[in-house]
Structures are given as C-alpha cells and as structure tokens.
Chains A and B, each alone.
Chain A
C-alpha cells in the first residue's frame, strides 16, 4: 500500500502524541497561574516532595495554594473539559449530526434544572445536616436525571430513520431551554439568598468552587464515563451510516443508543452539578479534531478528551486572569469563544440546514 493509505493513521498517532505532551504542560501552567504566580519548577518540587522523592524546602504558603486550591481546580477543569468534549463527540455520532452539543440541544439546561431542584430542595429539606459529599452526589443524581430526560426528548423529537434534522433538533433545544428557564425561574423565586447565589453560579459555569470533594465526585464518575465512551469509536463510526446500516454491520443499535444516551447524560449531568453550565466545549473540540484528522471516532474520542481538557484549562486561566483580582465565570469565556464558532458552522452549513 502507498503512503496515502497509511497517512490517516500516522496523522492520528501524531496528534494523540502531541496532545499527550500538551495536556500535562497546560496543567502545570494552570497550577502556576493566579494572583500568586508559581513557577513550574516549584510545582514539580512540591509534587516530588509529596510522593517522597525529594525533601526540599518550599514556602508553606505556596505549598498550601498548590495543594488545596490550584491542583483541585486544575484536575476538575481537566476532567470536566474531557468529559464534555467526549460526550459532545459521542452525541454528534449518536445524532449523526456534527452540530449536536449538550449545551445547544438543551441537555445542559435540563441537567441544570435537575441540579437546581437538588440545591433548592436540599436546602429546604436537609439544611446542612448531611455531609457535603453526599449532598453533592444527590445534586449530581438529579442533574443526571434532568440530562437523561432532555436527551431522550430531543432524540425522540428530532430523529427519524434518515438521521437527525438539524432544524428540528435545534428547535427542540429552544423549547427545552424555554421550559428549563421557566423551571429555574420558579426555583429562583422560592430560593433563599444563599441558594440563590449558587443557582446563579450554576447557570454561568465556574470552576471557582473546586475542592477535593468535587474532584473526588467528578473523577469517580467522569473518569469511568470518559473511558467507557472512548471505547465506542468503531460502533459510533458504524452508527454514522444510519441505524439500519449499523444493524447490518452487526451492531445492537437499540442497546447502544440507550447506553450512549445514559452515559452522555451522566457526563453532562455530573459536569453541570459540579461546575454549572459550560457551553460549546462539546461542539468546538470535536470539530477541531475532525478538521485535523477526519471523523474516525477511534481517534476523535480520545483526542477530544485531551483537547477538551486543554481547552477548558486555557479558558479557566483566561477567566482567572482577565479581570484579576476578580474572576469571570468560565461559562462566559467558553460562550464568548464558542458562540461565534457555532455561528460560523451554521454559516457554512446553511444550505444543508434549510
């Protein structure tokens, strides 16, 4: 075979390698960025001390900032960026439509409504008697339920045997957005002051609430979920041909659909419950990867996972520094970057959509 038949594969391998180098670099930068700048060397030293490789002197204040603020925030940003991007890619495969994104079709707002119900009801019923980690899991569970319901509705409304109509899908997203907006409005009305503040936070998206509890919650669910989705590459490739065609290729379409809807909703639900609505990561990242190496999900999924983390950490560094000492919610940063991008995609595809 000629080099042309091998090039897609080697290009994919090259991209995955580049991302595998880029991700830890960005993570180091993210840990170092903030009101107190910390050099990569210092961070590495602190990490080495921690695992017992070295025992050098580091200022206690620096060590505290790194361990209890910067590392949790960076880890949280990385795992949320990964799972949003991977679930966006998986959703686009499931809907056979490159414009599907958890934020655009209403899954994020459905999850936000679920989380909102959890926060408000939790504050009314439990006050602060239960452990925060347990409350977090409860809120995540409700966000998951909200996410599953909305994905299922949009899928039912928007999908025919010929695939998903972009117009119907987006309109379903609009309808669901309106409905969840009303629901969140009602919650705002009945919420007390503290709860109101956290409700506002969900809707803008922020990594500012990162602590080891949210990191544990996010990793315990999003880690396995991302890994699970990455194994669906070949199946999603077949699904792109159409449901009948996938079935003819030996794939159990019904159970695959169900699993993918549940797992992507879980990813979005948990992300929303710990960091609020962070839009467009699931749209922009898979699209960039497709531009670089094509639509093969076997590369698309793992590459999206890594680039999603890189992108969200970059957005978070911007959100932390652009209006320092204050902080711009990261959801605003991703929307500022993502919405024009989405517009340009619509512009390119306007003939197909009409």
Chain B
C-alpha cells in the first residue's frame, strides 16, 4: 500500500475513549475508481472509522490523508469529500430541490448551474419526481435518497484541488430492495467515472456484488480484507459475524454469493 497524493488514506488510526478501544490500528486506502466496502457487526467501529475519515473525530493516534494532506481547510475538503450520514434530522419545510441545493454551498458555481446539477443528482437517485415536494412530508427512504442527491451534488464537478471521494454510511438502511440496488449501482457508476467510494453496508451480497475490495471490522480492528472472494470465506464470515453460511460462486457475476444455511 503506497500513500499517494491521489488517494484517501487512513494510516494506523486508533481511537480510544474512556479506556475503550473504538478503533484499533486501522489502515485503509481508497483509490479513485474503487468501491471499498466496510463490513462488520454492530459496534465494530464502522461509523467511528467514517467519522475519523471525514475529520469529525480526531484519531487518538494515526492520521488520515486526503490526497496526500491531512490539514485541508474545511471549505476545501468539502469540495473533495462528500459524506452521507446514516440519518439526518431536518425539520424545516424546505422543498426537496432546496435541500439538494444545500449540497452546493461549498461550490462557487452560479445559481442556474447549481439548479442543473441538482436536477441531474436527483435523477441519479430516482428522485427527480420529488423535486417540488416538501421534504418533511417524504418517507424515510425518500429522505435518504434526497440526502444522497445532496451529497452527490456537493462533489458533482471535478475539483482542481484533487480527486473526489464519496463516503456513504449505510446508504441502503431505509431503502426498498429496488432502491438498494439502484444506490449501489449509482455508487459503482461514480467510481467508474473517477471517484473513490467508501461504503458502510450490512448486506454481504450487496457488498460482494458491487465492491472492488472489502474491509471487515471486528471490535475496532480489521479482521479480514481483500477482494470479495478473498475476504468472504465460510470461516471468516462464521468467525466475524457468527452466522453459518455457504459461499457459492455467483451464477452470473464474478463474485461470491453468500447463502444462509
């Protein structure tokens, strides 16, 4: 693993709070063009890892390099890194379009260009028909997609500062199966167009199908990692998630298929 100024690197990050270890010497690299998925049981440190990467939480030891630098001003970091949190509390009656427009706050483009980007971002998440709806009247899944569009619109255009990264914390948690698939396809597409994507997921098969690499956390440390085929073996799944599974070859795609026994 070589640190470059064209990647997102977590270097030996640990987080200790009140004598508890939330994250234990974790190193991860996300390259542009890649989808890296972080898996792990509840409390494994996935969300802590995301907070460390986004700069919300300083690691006790170790550091995070965004395109080679750890000291970007927030306003510049925002042009290279979009973060979708697990859930958002927004209780003011914005229209959907206005919510997605908030994603353009760090950008300097004019209003008309912003509106165009907002429309495109909403189309990416199958949310264009919601454009004029009031946000507070949406369902949980619709809200999640609107925030996805907001984060997409934030890093929609390439930045001269460096490559762009999309961080998604359980983006499918409130979604129906069709929109789960759509969301992961969208993430894959963004990676194929040059972004680095880091996703936190619970669904092993969605992870196997759409990721280049998996990082599996347990009790704050990396328990397994590699391509889906390397990381998802019967033994590791049993040891980490405590479930009895059969791993098969996906009949259509080149990826493992996890079947509950």
Contacts and interface: CB of A to CB of B under 8 A. Distances in A.
A234 to B, nearest CB: 6
A9 B93 CA distance: 16
A225 interface: no
A9 B85 CA distance: 29
B105 A237 contact: yes
Interface in A221-280: 234, 237-238, 240-242, 244-245, 247-252
B81 interface: yes
B242 interface: no
B94 A245 contact: no
Interface in B33-81: 54-56, 74-79, 81
B252 interface: no
Given A8-B95, A237-B105, A241-B102, A249 B88 contact: no
B220 interface: no
Contacts, number: 82
A240 B150 CA distance: 14
Contacts of B92: 96, 98, 240, 290, 295
A61 interface: no
Contacts of A242: 85, 88-90
Interface range on chain B: under 10, 10 to 19, 20 to 34, or 35 or more? 20 to 34
A294 interface: yes
B132 interface: yes
Nearest to A248: B83
B17 to A, nearest CB: 15
Given A234-B105, A237-B105, A252-B74, A294 B98 contact: yes
A240 B102 CA distance: 10
A1 interface: yes
A5 B111 CA distance: 11
Nearest to B73: A250
Contact of A250 (B75, B91, B111): B75
A296 B106 contact: no
Given A240-B90, A294-B98, A250 B112 contact: no
A238 B78 CA distance: 13
Nearest to A297: B92
A249 B91 contact: no
Contact of A245 (B76, B79, B85): B85
A315 B83 CA distance: 47
A352 interface: yes
A102 B56 CA distance: 30
Contacts of B228: none
Ranked 5 nearest A-B pairs via Cβ:
A250-B78, A250-B75, A295-B92, A250-B106, A248-B83
Interface of A: 1, 4-5, 8-9, 96-98, 162-163, 234, 237-238, 240-242, 244-245, 247-252, 290, 294-296, 352
27 contacts: A1-B112, A4-B132, A5-B97, A5-B115, A9-B111, A96-B92, A97-B91, A234-B105, A242-B90, A244-B54, A244-B56, A244-B85, A245-B83, A247-B54, A248-B78, A248-B82, A248-B83, A250-B75, A250-B77, A250-B78, A251-B74, A251-B75, A294-B94, A294-B95, A294-B98, A296-B94, A352-B91
